[in-house]
Amino acid sequence: MPDIQSMIGKEVEVLANGITYKGVLIEVSDTEVHLKGLMQWISLPVSVVSAVNLAGASRQELEREGILADGEGSFS
């Protein structure tokens, strides 16, 4: 998995409080993660961020790394 600093300037998906935010990673500080979303800027406290992945990471990769449980995030 890439280092978070190497993801700056790239399209990422951030999982925070069970919600996935998508955008370009702009900055990561000790307290906040900043994304440029499609229509707005997104600032998330680091304390609620569970994962930061490059956009398009496959579901199997996320499950293998323990970020998603089997069946989580799917609708029936």
C-alpha torsion sign, points 65, 47, 20, 12: negative
CATH of the domain at 44: 2.30.30.100
Question: Helix-strand-coil percent breakdown of the chain, rounded to 5?
Answer: 15, 40, 40
Structural domain includes residue 75: no
Q: Is 31 helix (H, G, I), strand (E, B) or coil?
A: coil
Structural domain includes residue 17: yes
pLDDT along the chain (76 residues), means of 10: 84 93 95 95 96 77 60 41
**Cβ within 8 Å of residue 65, ≥6 positions away:** 1
Is 0.95 topped by the overall pTM?
Answer: no
Phi, psi values for residue 60, rounded to 5°: -60, -40
What is d(CA 76, CA 64) in angstroms, rounded to the nearest whole number? 22
Structural domain includes residue 71: no
